Amino acid sequence: MATQNAGKAAELERLLQGIAGGVQSLAGLSGVFLPPEGDRSYAENALVKARALYAVVGVPAIGDDSGLEVDALDGAPGIRSARFAGEEAGDAENNALLLSRLRGVEPERRTARFRCVLAMVSANGDLVVEGTCEGVILHAPRGRAGFGYDPLFLPAGESRTFAELPEGEKDRLSHRGRAAAALRASIERTRA
């Protein structure tokens, strides 16, 4: 997996179990350098990461790019979700900036979605899939699990944020879980 985000790596490892003999993130590899993310598309970023990893390891490689799209902010932070508050910003800074930008926005206008694109590069070519999860942004964080914007995101039809849901429930509902399910289905179709 072409990711340096420990939270994403853990989720993807769970979600992709059984697809391959083993799944390994960049944390266990040396000499792999991912190019910086661009601002054009999630798919482009995911493919660039997967291709960079595939060029070094020579086995099927998966890249991920995902983001939070808030309707009241015209889709921001979007593709820049991890860098919303700056290149070196962490989850706390990104969440604080999001809440600041949404100050005074009524609850019914705080609709948002998480979007995830997974790209797999292998000798058989490239495969790109997407998953989304609709919800709303709360006025204050809730929960201690998850990462990123999880404490602020309440999925549609749920009473608990992503940061309050057990892993299995979050995996079933999340954008990354839906993208992983689409990837799994595509791989299984090509094997049949």
H or E segment to which residue 185 belongs:
helix 175-191
- Own/partner long-range contacts of 26-31 (Cβ < 8 Å, ≥24 apart): 26/1, 26/2, 26/53, 29/56, 29/57, 31/56
Q: What is the dihedral of CA 37, 45, 61, 54, to 10 degrees?
A: -70
d(CA 51, CA 63): 8
Of 78, 76, 30, whose CA–CA distance to 56 is shortest? 30
In the residue annotation, 126 being an active-site residue is answered as: no
Cα 115–120–122 angle (5° rounding)?
Answer: 170
In which order are the strands placed within the sheet that holds 61-70? Answer: 77-78, 61-70, 111-122, 125-137, 153-155
Cα 101–133–85 angle (5° rounding)?
Answer: 30
| Catalytically annotated residue among 39, 64, 65, 74 | 65
Q: Which residues are catalytic?
A: 65
